[in-house]
Chain A
Amino acid sequence: MAHADHGPKYLAHHFDTPKQQFESAKLGMWLFLAQEILFFSGLFVAYGVFRTWYPESFSVGSHLLDWKMGALNTVVLLFSSFTAAMAVRAAQIGEQTGVPEKDQHKLGGRKWTSIFLIITFFCAAGFMVVKYLEYSHKIHVGTLPGQFFGHPGFDMASVAGAEFYEEMEKAGALAYESGGHATVPFHLRTFFGIYFVMTGLHGIHVLIGMGLLLWILKRNASGEFSAEYNTPVDIFALYWHLVDLIWIFLFPLLYLID
């Protein structure tokens, strides 16, 4: 087949039809998402092992997280997933020139794709702002993981300051009296290690998603996508929904323990 006859501009040379190209892209993306799930599963299993070994530490640790912040971020991320889905829908509908007014889909076309992508981007940014507030508080009160978490025989009142001590008291977490001063369960550091690694890795995924969003937005603005070809928007949204899915599990597992 001569190159000129191959098909529309968006059809890569090594595909026979747009449909074959689309399904290959989807299949590849789903393979990648399955890999992402397995990639995160190591951390979820580590969480399961340490939670069953040190349930008190995990209970105290989750009381030191602000579940309202976590819930707010859950809602923000769910909404961003919704707008990402709406962006895909708008791209699938495409420009409706020549379609009678009564037959037109609402909220479709390039303009709406851009609008929904921009809303998604700002939700992602909002998520990271809340994350930043949470992290800076954790760092301030001294619950960084591993060797940065105080020292053995860690006395929360003297090391982390009165603020955190009050929080502990309010949460009823000062159950471990030793030598006349309140201490915390030794494996609290394990909980915060898991907290920082899991939310950190998820946060990196959000940041990558924000970068991809800008790229897709630019391509949409240049008029590359249409009702016939909108695969990149679709594929990006799949990634974004997976980031949402992982947070759906992280939120109750980290913030809402007992």
Chain B
Amino acid sequence: MADAHAHDHDDDYAVHAHITSIRTYVLIFGALLFLTGLTVAAYNIRLGELNLTVAVLIAMVKSSLVGAYFMHLKYDQRFNVLFFVGSLIFVGVFMAYTLNDTDHRGEEGVQGMRVDPATGNFAYGTATVLSETGEFTPFPEAADGDDPQTQPAPSEGDEAEAAQAPDEVDGTIDGDAPRVPAAPIDEMGEQGVEPLDEHGEAHDEQTDDAVAEDAAEEEAVADDAE
């Protein structure tokens, strides 16, 4: 390499990469395989609490080997090592400060619950104890979603709407039943009551909330028309 450049400042000019031997690479690869096997073995021994610590320690040794040899950090500029190690230190700071918060929320209550002393309620992230024993319903509104509810009476909004969008009124619209798109409620806000011919047939699947919201919107449209 060096002879290729008959140059005064040869050392500052050409790149002199350190060429690692095949033997070293094979040894490192072997060590990585061995450590992977060790991780799996430690898992199958079931160390309990120690499991996580052992697994993370082995992963750290593995990543040090990859970093030092495969990524050439051992022979690289120290400045580059600083970035690598520095970013890992900041990940540690990020992890430690966050967990120090989330692991220490509230005070010990009954059945292992964590209680926020200021409010007397569950501390954030701790209500799961009850949900797992079936005493706490995370989404109570989902339980009564199937209740039958009378559909709002057809309003003059139908006619007003028909007047506004004559192109979309076709044979699929039943004059007596309210036209309700089967689209989810959050989409209704954007779509309004326009997509008649796509959704007009799907009356059976509408949700009660959708009916109510649609009726309200139709009234609003009717008001506008007047």
Contact = CB atoms under 8 A, between A and B. Distances in A.
B13 A179 contact: no
Nearest to B92: A41
Query: On chain B, which size bracket covers the interface?
Result: 35 or more
B63 A67 contact: no
B13 A187 contact: no
Nearest to B9: A17
A23 interface: yes
Interface string B186-204: 0000000000000000000
A78 B15 contact: no
Contacts of A185: 128, 132
Interface string B150-162: 0000000000000
Contacts, number: 179
Interface string A101-128: 0000111000000000000000000000
Given A18-B13, A53-B128, A82 B90 contact: no
Interface in A33-73: 33-35, 37-38, 41-42, 44-45, 48-49, 52-54, 56-57, 67, 71
Consensus secondary structure, chain B interface: helix
A183 B132 CA distance: 9
Nearest to A21: B15
Contacts of A41: 90-91, 94-95
A27 interface: yes
- Chain A interface residue count: which class? 35 or more
Interface string B168-182: 000000000000000
A38 B28 CA distance: 26
A245 B66 contact: yes
A71 B42 CA distance: 13
